């Protein structure tokens, strides 16, 4: 499928989606978000794809929702039209892992988009922020919710109330990103992580993704029970037999997603 706001490439079982609105620092308008939902659905449906990497440019992962698109909208338009609800759902329903590779600005909706991914690898140039307060609004795609779960109340309040940006080092310390790498190595690191995931059993990978996300939704005892039942269920797969036998036989496993 042809995209106007994305560059999408699939190779070696990994789909790389690059946000591509350079003139607007990848600001998220409805066209871009619609295309992103379609690209993710396509990657999800393609049996050859085992992991997805989402990135932007060197200057910006995404500088937020498109302010020019929103500036003159009324309450009725955004409320009745349920602005961003379906777009967010389209991203969250992807069951294959999505790694966000973030360089430069990840602000507002850009930070929120990165947080919708399963984990974030940041370049040392990355800047995260929820500056919506400067526009007379507040975060609208998870910036008060996912950020609070990821970094805790103190930093989430600070970021959302003052609108200040967090650099990559602080983001790693706070638990927003899983690792920070030199900007020139960002894509190599992200693609290598995706490749590692692509070598695993897809069944196991999808179960892990689901279980970790449930941790944010459930009390601990329910979450652990959910995890344990999925762990038990994986014993019904050929990949569990293969994985454990390969360990015992001191060889590499050959997973077949069964």
Q: Which residues are the active-site residues?
A: 65, 109, 112, 132
- Residue 255: CB minimum distance to ligand CAA, A: 38
Interface with ligand CAA includes 88 (CB under 6 A)?
no
Neighbours of 183 (CB within 10 A): 16
- At residue 10, the 3 state secondary structure works out as strand
**Helix H segments across the chain?**
30-45, 67-70, 75-80, 85-92, 109-116, 146-151, 153-162, 168-174, 186-198, 202-215, 220-233, 238-248
Neighbours of 220 (CB within 10 A): 8
Longest dimension (CA), the chain: 65
Q: Which stretch binds ligand CAA (CB under 6 A): 89-97, 106-114, 148-156, 245-253?
A: 106-114
Residues 6+ apart with CB under 8 A from 163: 129, 130, 131, 132, 133, 134
- Residue 224: CB minimum distance to ligand CAA, A: 33
Residues 6+ apart with CB under 8 A from 140: 65, 83, 84, 109, 112, 132
Residues 58-77: x/- map of binding to ligand CAA (CB under 6 A)?
Answer: -----xxxxxx---------
Residues 124-143 that bind ligand CAA (CB under 6 A): 131-132, 135, 139-141, 143
Interface with ligand CAA includes 27 (CB under 6 A)?
yes
The smaller minimum CB distance to ligand CAA, of residues 165 and 255, is found at 165
Q: Which stretch binds ligand CAA (CB under 6 A): 21-29, 72-80, 204-212, 223-231?
A: 21-29
- Residue 21: CB minimum distance to ligand CAA, A: 9
Interface with ligand CAA includes 250 (CB under 6 A)?
no
Interface with ligand CAA includes 91 (CB under 6 A)?
no
Interface with ligand CAA includes 56 (CB under 6 A)?
no
How far is Cα 70 from Cα 86, in angstroms, rounded to an integer?
17
| Residues forming the site for ligand CAA (CB under 6 A) | 24-25, 27, 63-68, 84, 105, 107-109, 112, 131-132, 135, 139-141, 143
């Amino acid at each position: 499928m042809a995209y106007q706001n994305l560059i999408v490439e699939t190779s070696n079982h990994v789909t790389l989606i690059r946000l591509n609105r350079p003139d607007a620092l990848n600001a998220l308008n409805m066209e871009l978000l619609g295309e992103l939902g379609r690209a993710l659905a396509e990657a999800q449906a393609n049996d050859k794809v085992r992991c997805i990497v989402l990135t932007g440019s060197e200057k910006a992962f995404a500088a937020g929702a498109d302010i020019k698109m929103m500036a003159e909208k009324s309450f009725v338009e955004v409320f009745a039209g349920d602005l961003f609800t379906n777009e967010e759902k389209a991203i969250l329903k992807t069951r294959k892992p999505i790694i966000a590779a973030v360089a430069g600005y990840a602000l507002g909706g850009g930070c929120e988009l990165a947080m919708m991914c399963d984990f974030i690898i940041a370049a040392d140039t990355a800047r995260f922020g929820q500056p919506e307060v400067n526009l007379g609004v507040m975060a609208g795609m998870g910036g008060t919710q996912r950020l609070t779960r990821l970094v805790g109340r103190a930093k989430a309040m600070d970021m959302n109330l003052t609108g200040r940006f967090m650099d990559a080092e602080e983001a790693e310390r706070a638990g927003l990103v899983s690792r920070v790498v030199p900007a020139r190595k960002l894509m190599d690191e992200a693609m290598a992580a995706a490749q590692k995931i692509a070598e695993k059993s897809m069944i196991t990978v999808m179960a892990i993704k689901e279980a970790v996300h449930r941790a944010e939704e459930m009390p601990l005892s329910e979450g652990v029970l959910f995890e344990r039942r999925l762990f038990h269920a994986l014993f019904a797969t050929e990949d569990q037999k293969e994985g454990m036998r390969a360990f015992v036989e001191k060889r590499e496993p050959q997973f077949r997603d069964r």
